[in-house]
Each structure stands twice: as structure tokens, then as C-alpha cells.
Structure 1
Amino acid sequence: MINGKYLFLSMVISFICSSCYDETTFTAGEGLDDWSETTHSANADPDYDVVFPDNKVNKFTITIANDEWESMQDNLTDIYGFSTRPGGDFSDETPEYFPCELEFNGIKWYNVGIRYKGNSSLQASAQGEQKLPFRLDFDEFEDDYPEITNQTFYGFPALSMSSNYNDKSLMREHTANYLFAESGIPAPSAAYYELYVDYGQGPVYFGLYTAVEVVFETMLKKSFGSDYGNCYKPEDDGAQFSTYGFNLSDFENKTTGGTGEEDIEELYNILHSAERTSDVEAWKDKLESVFDVDGFLKWLAVNTTIQNWDTYGRMAHNYYLYHDPADGLIKWIPWDNNEAFDEGKQGGALAFNFSGLNGTSWPLIGYLMNVSEYEEIYKGHIVDFIEGPFEQSNMENYYSITELLIKKSMQGETTDYSYLNSYNEFESAVNVLKSHNANRIAAANAYAK
């Protein structure tokens, strides 16, 4: 009898608990006035025309509670120490996300995750600069707010908001992505956005930003037709692929959440195989069976021509690798190109013939350029680039149209939220880009023809 009572009581409790659970279960978008399948749902096809238009500047208004905003600033200080000394230190720690509301064209997105991104670009905070780069993740807080489960922005789960740091033209990030894509190199889409932030004092214009597609989200499907292959973001010594300091833990796997796996190790082992010097044809065959060599050489040709120095060859970061299930090859993807079109720092931009480059420190360049066939392919890609997307009249037109497109947005920037002091600086920076184009074409012709 007692057992029967316990059984009955257990059934009642289970029923009550299940009823409570049902009452707190939400369907995505439930109770959210602006939610729709095409604008917010994970079922929406990524709308590139809306999110990454070629011929207009979009506008974001972000509203964040003042206490969340203050916590966001405190988090930045905790990581970089900006409040106690100028400059701050680089850090491997990723800033925290905080919830905000985002408005675009009169439509709202709810409890969007916002955090700071970058490293050297965040150092500007120490000098009082408030125009800093952000990352937006539209379903970051879905566990706390199940009604936003799998929330997207027109089919895009996340966006990277570049502040155009160290770029008085405000064009370099956008232009580099455009040129890579026009050259047939897998690259994220990009577009210009005016960014307003209300952290309790009304909307403040944070200036003109460049929204960049996140590689391991929609970009993989756009470029490769799949997104389930291993996608790595290499950082630190391992990203050089040299025998010094190579470590699989330096290859964060964005697909699985782990680190470098057998495919990266296989590429490294083939790259440094004794066959490279004893039987170069066998070495080439094995390398080309795991690595998209031609795609890498095309990227190298474009990247060297535009003097994009803050990446492989000078710096051990700012690229992704994707193991494409379609052909089994590891593909090269450029990332974070705001330092392009410049002579550079940290030893400067690479020469076309890579003189001064330590080939053993950067073996994907050094070893491949020791193979005459690969060098000729590289030269051919340079010629294709300067006679195609980078041709002088094409770029003159591109720069002039872009200058007109973003001029008003640039002129609206204020001192604390701008890397510019005047319109003349902007105009001068655009002219520098035009001169850079002509000079690089001349240098490329002298080398490759």
C-alpha cells in the first residue's frame, strides 16, 4: 500500500514537472514582434544583397543597458590593462559577450551578443579612441533567452565589425576582400555600415565600419558548398608551419571546437619530408594530394601585389584553412586585411621575389618558391591579377565610386570615434591608394614579365 502511494505521488510530481516544463518551452521567435522567417530564422537563406550590398551604406543602431556597457568596458580593462598604462599587452583571452538589441531598417534583433574583437586594434583604446572593432553573435544568449534560438541576421548567425583601424581611407579591408573574391580566391563578403550605439545617453555615432562575413559560418557554404569540413584558425608559432615551434594546439578547429587534427599533421609532415630535396616530383605529388597548391599560389600572388603584410610571411595569423570534403584538399582563406596596400611594419611587406624572407621560417612560401614550376605559376597569377581585377582603370573607377559612396559617412565621424582629423586626410588617403595601384602594377610587370 505504501509503495502504491509512493508510485502515485511520483506520477503526480512527474506530471507537474512536465507541465511546468511545457509552460517554459519556447518556439524560436515566440513573443517577438519583429521576428520573421526571412529576417531572423536559421531557415533563412543568407541574403547577401541585403547584408552585403555593393552600392549603399547600411546602418546599425545598437542599444545596450548602461550596466552591461560598463561591464563590457571593465572586461576590456581586465584583459588589456588599458586603464593603468598606455599600450597594454597582447592577450590570448577573448573578450566576453554582453546582450544588446540591434535595429536595422526599423526591424529589431533581440539579445544579440556583442563583444570586442581584435588585438593591436584595441590598443587605440589606451589613447582614448572609442571606435573599436566588435563581433556580433545573434544567438549567443539563446540558452538564457530560448525565444531567440538560432537567431540570425538575414541568414547570417554572426558578423565581424571592423573599425577600419589604421586606415584613413576606410577602404582597405573592403577592397582587399573584393580583390581576393574577384580573383577567384575564397574570401568573406564585406560591406560598409554606419554604427550607432546607445548605452544610456541616446544613440552615439561610432563611425563607419566594415561588416565582414564570418568565415566558419556562411562563407564556407558560399565558397565550397559545404561547412562540415575541418576549418582551422591558426595562431602563434604553429601557424608558420616551420620546424621551430610547430604545435597542433595552435590550430583551433572552428568546426569541432577542438584543435589541429590528422589533416594538419599530414600537411606538415609532407611539407618537411626528405623527398623535398631527394625527389621533388614525388614531393610535389604528395603535397598536391593534400593541399590546394595552386589556390595558395594565387593567394600569394594577389597578397604580395597588394602588400598585405599582416599575415603569413611576416605574421603568424590572419588566415584560415578549410579541409574541403569535395576534393579532400586543404584550402587557404585570407582574413583581417585592414593593413593591406601599405609598405608595412614588422620587416615590411614582402618583395615579389621574397628576398630577405627566411624560407625555413615560412616554408609554405620558401619551399614552394624553390620549385621553378611553382614560381612560374605564381608569376602567371600575378600577371592575371594586374591585367584583370587590379588593372589601373578598374581600380581608379573602384576607388572613385567608393569614395563617393562613403564620403558622407566619413564626414559624420567625430574626434573620439574616428582615425581621421579632416576630410583632407581621407581624400589624401584615397589618392595614396590610387598611386599605390599604379606603382604595384609597375613593380609586378618588372618582376613577372
Structure 2
Amino acid sequence: MRPVAALAIGALALAGLTACDATGATGATTSSSLTAEQAAALLDSDFYDTSLVHSITIDFDDDDYQAMLDAYSETGDKGWISATVTIDGTVFEQVGLRLKGNSSLRGIGSDSTADTDDDGADTGAPAAPDSGDGSVNTDDPETLPWLIRLDKYVTDQSYQDRTEFIVRGNTSESSLNEAVALELIGLSGLATEKSAAVRLSVNGGDDALRLVMESIDDDAWNDDAFEAGGSTYKADSGGDYSYRGDDPAEYTDVFDQKTGDDDLTPLIDFLDFINNSDDATFAADLGDHLDVDSFATYLAMQDLTANTDDIDGPGNNSYLRYDSETGLMTVVAWDANLSFGGMNGGMGGGFGGDGGDRGAPPDGATAPDGEAPDGAAPDGAAPDGGPGGGDNILATRFLADSTFSALVDTATTTLTASLYDSGDAQDVLDRWTALLTDQASDLVPEDTLQEESDTIAAYLTAAE
């Protein structure tokens, strides 16, 4: 780790310190709304300690910011700028900062139909017609989704062994839905990303409550999540799981390799099998290509968390992890901010085995704004998996096979008992709700927090 300095407790809480800023900004300031007690607790704490609301401040040159927005508006490219970032009182300079996401950036720029992969390259495809991840306002950069990369310009710069931090977009004010969903995914035994509730301030502006999470693109996350070596591939939102031949160049617009040796061969072989094997071969040999038990658990958890934006949702939201020792692929869960019905303005969700009644909120839950009544899909939306979704070849073939679909049913029954009937899921929700009520009610009103918590609780009850 190569931080510039650790700030003194009193200054962190009360005054805020400035630091030399290579971007030309006036200086790094700490959150003005932290109490001395909160600031003291944050110093030297684990950033993903969920008993605390953490603090991140970002400072950058306004001209750099505007140039970045102009470039995104004109081309869809997500360019990097340099910033000073303070994490729980530790200052880092020359940090890479760029916009993060696709649907979460709707409304920025004049061309909202162009689709880009998450590295900013134009895929040439229309953007997936989903509902977005909440409102964004470029005049209030603390509302935007961001990727913070500590080692973009300074080699080996990291914080607690992590080089990347993702500031998530969400349709709710609290982001409780994604925080709870991520933790439940981890309790199911699947690899998941840790998250932290954060007070985020940009260029001395007001604090906003945001959810910040680990990045699957981070080598350190992969090392912690998977025992064996291998490669991690991200499905781009403008692509699909189709087989496009054996030329790696044909996959550059649909998958990005994030970790491991630069080799798409395992991915291409896997896509060849799931697309081109006949049904008998698929049933007999899928276990030689995919961790089928893990995938059954994945599908069960996406349904149990009512996530309409999963592998068969509008953007193929998933990663594939190739284990070089076993030769198996694992589908890694990603993008849970539309879990539990997407909360306010989301796309709806529910429980129904293989993604059945995802359009209707459970009894007692409030339907998100703009949702079609009585569980009907919104205009133009597929009834399963959200608009443009419901047609991932792997999920479709897996669920069409009686043996594999039975694994999903078994996983759903087991996880319902262990997470929901046991009360563990409610305990997770209660803990997150109490945290935000106790430490962030100045950022989100208590009645809003309680309303959003109650909406999730209705989904948890419906799953029992």
C-alpha cells in the first residue's frame, strides 16, 4: 500500500485536511458530516466492516471532469481522470477514476442508445432496454456510479490489498436491496463481493449514501474467491453466450478477459459445447465443462433474491470463471442492484422456481413506481428475466433438462430452509437496516429506510 498519509482523528472529523493534488484541484477534504466518534472508529478499520458506515471523498479538476463527460456524451468512451481519494482517512493521490456501468449512466450525454462494454469500447449494439439503475445528475457527481482504481497511475498502490472499488448505482435511496442480496449469495456458498455503506463526497460537496463494493476484475478478489488458478471472463451487456467460431477476435465485443493468461480458448470451447452439443450430449457431458451444482445454486439464489438482472436478464450480467485445474467453468454472480424487485422504479421481482413470477411483488410489498399492475410485464418487456432477457442459452438448456432443473429445485428448497425459514436472511436485513438508521439517517430519512427495509422483508417472507 502506498497512501500519501493517514489523517489525524480530530482533523478528519472536524476540519478536514488538504493534500497535494496532482490533478490541480484545490485539495482533498474529508467528510464534513462525520462526528469525531465516527471518524475515530473508521481509522484502521476493515473497509468492509459492515458495523460501520465508511467514508470516501474524491477530489478532481473540474475541467478534467467536464472533458470526461463530453467524451462519454460524444463517443460512449469511459475515459479515466486523475483524482485524490481519501478512504476512511487515508489519502491516495493520482488515483484513476472513471464512470462505471451502462444502464446506470442513462441520461448522461445525447446518445443514450449506444452500448459500450464496461471498458468503454463501443460494441456497435443498441443499449439493452432496461430501466436503469436510478437517476444520475452530472451536477452532483456524488450520485454517479464510479470505478476507483488506486493503481491506475501509481504502481502497486492499494488499500487493504484491494486496488479497485466500485461505487454502485441503485434505484433505491438506501441500496439495502443489493447489500442484502450480496450477503445472502455469500451465505449460499457462492463467491460474492463484499460491500460497504459509504458517505461519499466529491469536491467538497454534500455527502451521499452509496454502496461501494469489491471488483471481480481485481486480481486480489479472484485470489481470495478461488483456490485454484484460472481465468475470469466478463460478459458484456451488448453480447450474448453464442458461439462465434474459433477466432478469438470474434469475441472481443461480447466478452472481456479480466484475469489470468491472455487466452480465450477455454471460453470459446465452453461456448461451443453449450451451443452446439445435442441434448443427449449436453445432459451427459455438461458436468465436464461446468460446475453444475454451483450453477444450480446460482439460479436458485437469483430467484430467491428476486433479481431480474441476472444471467438471463437484459445484459447477460455474469462472469465466467475457468478453473485451470478442473477444467470447469463457474458462473459468478454480478450486479444485484435490481434484487428484491428493483425497489423504487425497478423492474419487479418475485419467487417462482426457475424465474417464474418475477413481475409481481409479494403480498405486502409495494410495487415499484411505473411497474405494470398485477404482475404484468411492462410494455416491451419479456415476462422472464426483464426486457430483452430470458434467453441465455446456458440457463435455457439447463432448465429444460429435467435432471438439471431438479438440482435447481433442490437448491431452492435447501436454501429457503437455511436462509429464509431459519431467519438468517431477516437477520442480515435487520443488521443493515439498523446500521443505516443509526449512522446514516442524516443522509436518508428514517422513514425511507424503514419503507425500503419493509419492502425487502415482504420478499423474504414470501420466500419462506
Give the TM-score of the pair, scaled to structure 1: 0.72
2:274 equivalent in structure 1: 271
1:245-292 CA-partner distances (Å, limit 9, x unpaired): x9522111112696x72222221222133531xxx2x43342211111
1:119 equivalent in structure 2: 102
1:325 equivalent in structure 2: 324
The offset of 1:106, in angstroms, is: 3.4
Question: How many angstroms apart in 1 are the aligned matches of 2:164 and 2:338?
Answer: 23
Residues 58, 431 of structure 1: alpha-carbon distance in 2 compared, 3 angstrom cutoff: same
Question: How many angstroms apart in 1 are the aligned matches of 2:208 and 2:69?
Answer: 20
2:165 equivalent in structure 1: 159
Alignment of 1:69 with 2:62, yes or no, is yes
Alignment of 1:181 with 2:182, yes or no, is no
The offset of 1:160, in angstroms, is: 0.9
The offset of 1:150, in angstroms, is: 0.9
1:424 equivalent in structure 2: 447
In the comparison of the two structures, how many residue pairs are matched? 363
Question: How many angstroms apart in 2 are the aligned matches of 1:233 and 1:380?
Answer: 28
The offset of 1:212, in angstroms, is: 0.9
SS in structure 2 at match of 1:205: coil
Alignment of 1:214 with 2:177, yes or no, is no
1:319-361 CA-partner distances (Å, limit 9, x unpaired): 1111112322111111121110007867966842455659993
Q: 229-238 vs 380-389, which deviates more?
A: 229-238
Matching residue within 240, 248, 251 for 1:248: 251
- Is the Cα contact below 8 Å between 2:232 and 2:258 reproduced in 1? yes
Alignment of 1:54 with 2:50, yes or no, is yes
The offset of 1:299, in angstroms, is: 0.3
After superposition, residues 90-169 of structure 1 pair within 5 angstroms as: 93-123=76-106, 124-125=135-136, 130=141, 131-142=143-154, 149-163=155-169, 165-169=170-174
Q: Read off the aligned partner of 2:429 and give its amino acid letter.
A: Y
- Is the Cα contact below 8 Å between 1:158 and 1:214 reproduced in 2? yes
Q: Read off the aligned partner of 2:164 and give its amino acid letter.
A: A
1:403 equivalent in structure 2: 433
Q: Read off the aligned partner of 1:51 and give its amino acid letter.
A: F
Residues 153, 69 of structure 1: alpha-carbon distance in 2 compared, 3 angstrom cutoff: farther
1:438 equivalent in structure 2: 461
Question: How many angstroms apart in 2 are the aligned matches of 1:287 and 1:380?
Answer: 18
Q: Read off the aligned partner of 2:255 and give its amino acid letter.
A: F
Question: How many angstroms apart in 2 are the aligned matches of 1:365 and 1:429?
Answer: 30
Residues 284, 316 of structure 1: alpha-carbon distance in 2 compared, 3 angstrom cutoff: same
SS in structure 1 at match of 2:93: strand
- Is the Cα contact below 8 Å between 1:242 and 1:362 reproduced in 2? no
Q: Identity of counterpart residues, as a percentage?
A: 18
Residues 411, 346 of structure 1: alpha-carbon distance in 2 compared, 3 angstrom cutoff: closer
Question: How many angstroms apart in 2 are the aligned matches of 1:333 and 1:158?
Answer: 18
Question: How many angstroms apart in 2 are the aligned matches of 1:79 and 1:348?
Answer: 32
Residues 94, 204 of structure 1: alpha-carbon distance in 2 compared, 3 angstrom cutoff: same
Alignment of 1:79 with 2:78, yes or no, is no
2:35 equivalent in structure 1: none
1:145 equivalent in structure 2: none
Q: Read off the aligned partner of 2:136 and give its amino acid letter.
A: S
Q: Read off the aligned partner of 2:434 and give its amino acid letter.
A: L
Question: How many angstroms apart in 2 are the aligned matches of 1:119 and 1:384?
Answer: 34
Question: How many angstroms apart in 2 are the aligned matches of 1:237 and 1:133?
Answer: 19
SS in structure 1 at match of 2:51: coil
2:225 equivalent in structure 1: 223
- Is the Cα contact below 8 Å between 1:231 and 1:321 reproduced in 2? yes
Q: 165-174 vs 378-387, which deviates more?
A: 165-174
Q: Read off the aligned partner of 2:158 and give its amino acid letter.
A: T
Q: Read off the aligned partner of 2:56 and give its amino acid letter.
A: F
Question: How many angstroms apart in 2 are the aligned matches of 1:374 and 1:271?
Answer: 14
2:309 equivalent in structure 1: 310
Question: How many angstroms apart in 2 are the aligned matches of 1:239 and 1:378?
Answer: 22
SS in structure 2 at match of 1:367: helix
The offset of 1:178, in angstroms, is: 0.4
Q: Read off the aligned partner of 2:59 and give its amino acid letter.
A: T
Question: How many angstroms apart in 2 are the aligned matches of 1:410 and 1:33?
Answer: 26
Q: Read off the aligned partner of 2:63 and give its amino acid letter.
A: E
The offset of 1:302, in angstroms, is: 0.7
Question: How many angstroms apart in 2 are the aligned matches of 1:51 and 1:410?
Answer: 16
2:12 equivalent in structure 1: none
Give the TM-score of the pair, scaled to structure 2: 0.70
The offset of 1:126, in angstroms, is: 5.2
Matching residue within 393, 400, 420 for 1:363: 393
Residues 189, 346 of structure 1: alpha-carbon distance in 2 compared, 3 angstrom cutoff: closer
Residues 377, 243 of structure 1: alpha-carbon distance in 2 compared, 3 angstrom cutoff: farther
Residues 102, 126 of structure 1: alpha-carbon distance in 2 compared, 3 angstrom cutoff: closer
SS in structure 2 at match of 1:204: coil
Q: 430-439 vs 360-369, which deviates more?
A: 360-369
Q: Read off the aligned partner of 2:161 and give its amino acid letter.
A: G
Q: 171-180 vs 396-405, which deviates more?
A: 396-405
Gapped regions of structure 1 (runs ≥ 5): 1-27, 36-47, 82-90, 143-148, 414-419, 442-449
- Is the Cα contact below 8 Å between 2:157 and 2:163 reproduced in 1? yes
